[in-house]
Amino acid sequence: MSFTLENSGMTDRALDIASRVESFVRQTIVPYEKDRRRDGHGPSDALANEMKESARTAGVLTPNILADGSHLTHRETACVLIRSGLSPLGPVACNVSAPDEGNMYLLGKVASGEMKTRFLDPMVAGKIRSAFFMTEPAEDGGAGSDPMMMQTTCHPDGNHWVINGRKCFITGAMGAGMGIIMAKSDQGACMFLTDLPDPAIRVDRVMDTIDSSMPGGHAVVTIDNLRLPASQMLGESGEGFRYAQVRLSPARLTHCMRWLGAAIRANEIATDYANRRMAFGKQLVDHEGVGFMLAENLIDLKQSELMIYWCADILDTGVLGTAESSMTKVAVSEALMRVADRCVQVMGGQGVTEDTIVEQVFREIRAFRIYDGPTEVHKWSLAKKIKRDWKSKNPS
């Protein structure tokens, strides 16, 4: 590995799990990168399930959740999930990809025992995938980066709730076995758990997007008079945004972890290419324009890693870490975009082919700059916090 990951201060159990995950991804999953079982939007479920079985055999399926149901700390999770991302297929194989990882974390924190048995346990076991239904079509004036614009509604009907609306960019909806749906009632946002598929939830289309690492792709969905028992609502009516905050920062941070792993691998490939390729009488790496790009990659990768661990430590204190996760998401996504872009540039024509994963990592990280909140929205949110903090210290 041309980039050395931090191990200081890490627990022995996390280092052990991380080592096993890295070995599994490099030795077992990397060869699957040439497997053509894709549906145009991501790995097919047949491919995903085959890789999960291999992970189960290797003892690295859902490695961030321990046998007793407890969760690794955020710092320990970073150590493990960075390694899972060394292949774009690694998080899928290890059952730590989005949206499943974030959904498992949320249910582990707030779901009832009955809900955990019915919905969480099959996810942890890798038997089903999940979807998180929040984002809505812009043409409907629905919720995107601003969840307060939510148009999907829910209303009580006896001991059931009826949900209606449209959702978009719903990752993994096609083929998912369960879903978490956000809708608004008279009291505010609500969150429901549902089995999938359901005839009242129609996948209108799977969108053609720049990224292609997630099974099921990203769907546009119509919810037409979906009736769910009141027992399938998380908490009480109006508590949906509070539960969304529980999921938000950790899920945003695990995105950073996984894509740091992918960028590390892309840099390894570009570094190997630059040391093997001869041009103008010497190795590419000896040309300052190339060598400096790889040096800048090491700087961006290390800064990203340290930012992730800093934010993880904040979350491990028990606070929501909204501002810290926003800063981390901006810093890491922008830095990794620079890394991926340089890797493509170093490899020239080879960098834009599917001969290696470099071009895919470039595409995935470009999408990552938007998913879980565009850079500009996070900066705007941080600017509002700066103003609030200033006002609190300078009352009029």
For position 179, what pLDDT does the model report?
A: 98
Q: What average pLDDT score do residues 370-377 get?
A: 94
Percentage of residues of the chain with pLDDT beyond 90 = 93
Q: What is the DSSP string of 255-298?
A: HHHHHHHHHHHHHHHHHHHHHH-EETTEEGGGSHHHHHHHHHHH
Asked which of 211, 235, 259 is the last residue of a domain, the reply is 235
Q: What is the CATH number of the domain that holds 269?
A: 1.20.140.10
54 and 144 share a domain? no
226: left (phi over 0), alpha (psi -120 to 50) or beta: beta
Q: What is the pLDDT of residues 206-218, one digit of tens each?
A: 999 999 999 999 9
Examine the fold and report which residue of 124, 139, 163 is the final residue of a domain before the chain moves on: 124
User: pLDDT by residue (tens digit) across 264-320?
Assistant: 999 999 999 999 999 999 999 999 999 999 999 999 999 999 999 999 999 999 999
Residue 69, domain extent: 12-124
> Looking at the domain assignment, is residue 388 inside a domain?
yes
Report the sign of the C-alpha dihedral through residues 164, 103, 176, 332, in that order. Answer: positive
Statement to judge: residues 273 and 323 lie in one domain: yes
Query: For 130-185, how does the pLDDT look when each residue is reduced to its tens digit (9 = 90+)?
Result: 999 999 999 989 988 888 899 999 999 999 999 999 999 999 999 999 999 999 99
Same domain? For 318 and 364 the reply is yes
Residue 3 lies in a domain: no
Task: Answer for the pair 284, 278: CB distance below 8 angstroms, yes or no.
Answer: yes
Domain final position from 178, 211, 235: 235
The reported pTM is 0.96
Contacts for 367-373 with beta carbons within 8 Å, 24 or more apart? 367/209, 367/210, 367/211, 368/211, 368/255, 368/259, 368/333, 368/336, 368/337, 369/333, 369/334, 369/337, 371/98, 371/255, 372/251, 372/252, 372/255, 372/329, 373/145, 373/252, 373/326, 373/329
Burial class (CB in 10 A: 0-12, 13-18, 19+), 283: middle
pLDDT digits (tens, 9 = 90+) for 27-74: 999 999 999 998 778 999 999 999 999 999 999 999 999 999 999 999
Query: What is the band of 9 on the pLDDT scale with cuts at 50, 70, 90?
Result: confident
My answer on whether 286 and 322 are in the same domain is yes
- Per the CB < 8 A criterion, the answer to whether 136 and 152 are in contact is yes
Question: Which among 298, 201, 184, 203 has a CA at the least distance from the CA of 244?
Answer: 184
Average pLDDT over all residues of the chain:
96
The C-alpha atoms of residue 247 and residue 51 are separated, in whole angstroms, by 26
In-domain check, residue 364: yes
The CATH number of the domain holding residue 230 is 2.40.110.10
Q: Are residues 269 and 363 in the same domain?
A: yes
In total, how many domains does the chain have? Answer: 3
